[in-house]
Amino acid sequence: MYPTQACLRPFIRHVMAGAAGRYVRAPNLQHRRGLITLKDHIFFSKATAEGAGRNGKVKSFGDAPLELKLAMPKAAGGKGDGQNPEQLFAMGYSGCFLGALQLAAARAGKKELAENAKVHATVFLGHPKDPDMEGFGLRVEIGVEGCDDDAIIAAAHEFCPYSRALTRGVEVDVKKV
């Protein structure tokens, strides 16, 4: 099992298409599952977490630094007086997928189909079904509103780095610094 599978337990079940709420199966990429490795990089982002873990703080660096207080959600027994990693993940995924959707539409010569689209990402935190696995896992649902072209949605899912990381795996190096 790859590290990202063991740590994140991603399950992208459906891609919601259009305002009517039709569901389209996400492409089955399991037969190609492996790790995506990079030959180079054009950008990197760095963030640091410190303090009391999920009740500490996170800070990003770069062009527009951001610092946030973290807090366990009330539903998980916390105070809920700050952001949580799942919110941040959902925000990043929805923004990235929207960009991929608009790019896929433009490449298909149908730019207007995604100009006013919205992408909703829902990230579920829960216990894995596997009784031998401790800790938590994630499940993600992506809802696409305002674009009902299934081929464009599938192309966006194939192109989006978040989708690729969750469906194909991503190289993760954990080391002491």
Instruction: Report pLDDT digits (tens) over 117-154.
Output: 999 999 999 999 999 999 999 999 999 999 999 999 99
Question: Which H helix or E strand runs over 47?
Answer: strand 46-50
Confidence of residue 35 (pLDDT cuts 50, 70, 90): confident
Length of the chain: 177
- Where in the chain are the domains? 3-28+84-168
**Other CB atoms within 10 Å distance of the CB of residue 75:** 8
**8-state DSSP, 62:** S
Instruction: Give the C-alpha distances (Å, rounded to integers) separating 74 from 78, 84, 121.
Output: 5, 11, 20
Q: What is the pLDDT of residues 63-114, one digit of tens each?
A: 999 999 999 999 989 999 999 999 999 999 999 999 999 999 999 999 999 9
Is 67 exposed, middle or buried (CB count within 10 Å of its CB: 0-12, 13-18, 19+)?
exposed
Please give the model's pTM, rounded to 2 decimal places. 0.79
* Pairing of β 66-69 and β 57-61: antiparallel
8 A C-beta contact, residue 27 and residue 12:
no
Instruction: Give the C-alpha distances (Å, rounded to integers) separating 153 from 5, 164, 171.
Output: 24, 14, 25
8 A C-beta contact, residue 46 and residue 176:
no
pLDDT at 27 over 90: no
Check: CATH 3.40.50.300 for 3-28+84-168? no
Which pair of structure tokens corresponds to residue 75? 């539903």
